Structure 1
Amino acid sequence: MSVLQQVWGRLQMLVAQGKVLGIGKGKVQVRVLDEEVLDNVRHAMPYGFSHHPTGGEAYMMFPAGDRTHGIALVVGDKRYQMDLQGGEVAIHDADGNHVHLKAGGEIEIKASTLVRVDAPKVEATGDVLISGNLVVMGHAQAVGFFGPAGSAASLAGGAAVVGDFTVNGKDVGDGHRHHVGGATTEGVI
């Protein structure tokens, strides 16, 4: 075999595409041409992103054409690809959960069961619309609690208060007292 044939053979072995058979910590098992199974291909992932696909395709590079030291540069699965418009970006999984940065400045987050934010403080600088129920497990404080166009706030359906209840610093709960005509009464009149 001539030197030129050897170089050509190595060049042909530099890049490959294959079917993912299994994933391990930092490694991927791939079937490439002629049913060749490569067990020890390093799985390169960008900083801050990790994934564990359940199948799909691997696009690999083999430095110097050596099949024993492959690197899977991209591992993808077309079965779960999202349909995106130009310029959009998404992080997603096989179950349909996703964070979708949409064209026009909208961000959509979809989770099948729960979105958990573990932070000492969460801020929203704009309006917040809650279509479901709001349950506050700790204390709640409302500053600037007004209705539409500055009108008085209203609680449709009423309110059930357990514990102390004050308005403008005055106790208006069950134990408050009224002074009417020199007599003092307790509780709600």
Structure 2
Amino acid sequence: MDARNVAKLLSPIKRGLQMVVARALVTAVGQGRAQSVQVALLAGEAKDGVEHAEPYGFTAHPHAGATAVVVFVGGDRSHGIAAVVSDPRYRPADLAAGEVCVYTDQGDEIRIKRGGELVIKAATKVRIETQVLEVTGEVRDRCDAGGRTMAEMRQTYDGHTHGGVQPGAGSTAVPNQGM
């Protein structure tokens, strides 16, 4: 069999394989428990209702313009799955080898750094909703500005006194030490 005949026989297989995976741009995102995206594939092909498969325990609402890798099982273009959606416009570019980061487009991050350090960066507030919060190490207030640990503050509080107490006055003088 000559090369032309082999190419002719393999042509449908080649076309089928080319239909299995595609790179796309996200153009819209649906709401709900099973998130779907609308994507623009190469050569102007648009697909709506593409399932956005996400790892268990992680979810995101990507912006329009994010990139996606879309898989069409068996090459059937009627049902695509966005296997990966990423957005390099917002990805932190300063991670060291082995570091992990969960991030938003606004710069908020949860970063697991080398050496056992976890850094939470939030522009306005960190809120922890739980009945009990346990910390095994020291807690330091204003750590970048010479702050004190909780143990140091406790020591100051336990050792402070008030002067000028007068019976029946209802108030005391200013403590002899600040926190």
Structure 2 match to 1:49: 58
Deviations along 1:99-126, one digit per CA (max 9) or x if unpaired, are: 0001111111011111111111101111
| Aligned partner of residue 64 in structure 1, secondary structure | helix
Q: How many residues align?
A: 151
- Contact 1:41–1:72 (CA under 8 A) maintained in structure 2: yes
> Which structure is larger by alpha-carbon Rg, 1 or 2?
1
**Which of 68, 75, 81 pairs up with 1:71?**
81
The residue that corresponds to 2:177 in the other structure is none
Q: CA deviation at 1:47?
A: 0.6
Structure ranking higher in strand proportion: 1
1:123 aligns with 2:123: no
Q: Alpha carbon RMSD of aligned pairs, Å?
A: 3.0
Deviates further, 32-41 or 91-100 = 32-41
The alignment's TM-score, normalised by the length of structure 1, stands at 0.70
Asked if the contact 1:44–1:71 (Cα under 8 Å) also holds between the matched residues in 2, the reply is: yes
1:27 and 2:46 aligned: no
**How many percent of aligned residue pairs carry the same amino acid?**
40
Q: Does 1:12 align with 2:18?
A: yes
Q: Which has the higher helix share?
A: 2
The one-letter amino acid paired with 1:75 is V
Give how far 1:173 is off: 9.1
Cα–Cα, structure 1 residues 188 and 107, in superposed 2: closer, same or farther, change >3 Å?
A: closer
1:173–1:118 Cα change, 3 Å: farther
Give the CA deviation at 1:35: 1.0
Match of 1:81 among 86, 91, 95: 91
Deviations 1:4-56, CA, capped at 9 Å, x for gaps:
32222111111110111011131111111111111121100011101001131
TM-score, with length taken from structure 2: 0.74
Name stretches of at least 5 consecutive residues in structure 1 with no aligned partner. 133-141, 160-171, 177-185
